[in-house]
Amino acid sequence: MSPLTTLTDIELADLIKSGSQPAFQVVYNRYWRLLYGHIYKMLRDEEDAKDILQDVFSGLWLYPEKIPELSNLAGYLYTIARHKVLNAIRKNKYRNDYLESLAIYVSEASEETLQYIDTRDLMAAIEKEIAALPPRMRQVFELSRKENLSHKEIGKLLGTSDETVKKQINKSLKVIRYNLKESGGTALLLLALWR
C-alpha cells in the first residue's frame, strides 16, 4: 500500500500537477469505480462508459495544468465526466426519453453544487427515501433501478401491466425528489444519475 493513499485530494492534485504518476494512480484507484458507476447509469452501455472514464482520467494526466485549486477532486472529476456524457448524448449517440430528460436535468445543476458533492452522504439520503416508499412501490423502483429490469420485465415478474410499472416508477421518483428537495435538495443531482 502506497503512503500516498493517506494524502488528501488537494495534496494528490498538487502532486499530479508536478507529474507524479504514483499520485495519479492513487486518484485513479480512489475514484474510478464511483465515476464508472455514474457514467454507466447515464449511458447504460458498458463499453461507452469505459471509454468516457478513460477520457476523464487521460485528461487529468495529460493536462494537469487544468486542475483548478479545489478541495473536492471527486466533484471536479465528476464534472468532467458529466460534460463528456452530455456531449455524447447531444451528438445523438444515445436516443431515448430517459437520457434526454436526464441531460436537461443534469444541465440545470450548478457547477457549485457539483464541486461540493459528498457522494456517500447523498447516496445514503437517497437510499433512506427509497426505503421509506410503500413496499410495492419500493419493490418496483428497486427492480427498475437496481436490477436494471425493463418495465415489461417487471410487469411480467409482478403480474401487472407495463403502464402500471411506469406509473409506479414515476410516482416513486416524484416522492423521492420532493422529499430530497424538502430536506435541502443536495441529493437531487445524484438521484438524477442514480438509475
**DSSP of 83-126, one letter per residue?**
HHHHHHHHTTSS-SHHHHHHHHHHHTS-HHHHHT--HHHHHHHH
Between CA 87 and CA 89 the distance in angstroms is 5
Q: Give the length of the chain.
A: 195
Amino acid 54: pLDDT: 93
Who has greater pLDDT, 164 or 45? 164
Who has greater pLDDT, 37 or 117? 37
34-38, 70-74, 98-102: the lowest-pLDDT one: 98-102
Amino acid 169: pLDDT: 83
Is the pLDDT score of 181 beyond 80?
no
**pLDDT (tens digit per residue) in 57-98:** 998 898 888 888 766 788 889 889 988 888 877 665 444 444
- Binned at pLDDT 50, 70 and 90, residue 120 comes out as low
Contacts of 160 (CB under 8 A, 6+ apart): 154
Distances (CA, A) of 147 to 97, 105, 140, 190: 20, 23, 10, 18
Task: Supply 168's cell numbers.
Answer: 409506479
Task: Supply 147's cell numbers.
Answer: 436490477
Mean pLDDT of 137-158: 83
Between CA 35 and CA 179 the distance in angstroms is 25
Between CA 195 and CA 187 the distance in angstroms is 14
Instruction: With beta carbons less than 8 A apart as the criterion, state whether 110 and 79 touch.
Output: no
Amino acid 187: pLDDT: 46
Instruction: With beta carbons less than 8 A apart as the criterion, state whether 16 and 27 touch.
Output: yes
Which domains are delineated in the chain?
Answer: 1-117 (1.10.1740.10), 119-195 (1.10.10.10)
Is the pLDDT score of 112 beyond 60?
no
Provide the percentage of residues in the chain whose pLDDT is more than 90.
11
Who has greater pLDDT, 5 or 181? 5
Between CA 135 and CA 119 the distance in angstroms is 26
Q: What is the DSSP letter of 19?
A: T
**pLDDT (tens digit per residue) in 155-179:** 888 888 888 888 888 888 777 777 7
Mean pLDDT of 170-194: 61
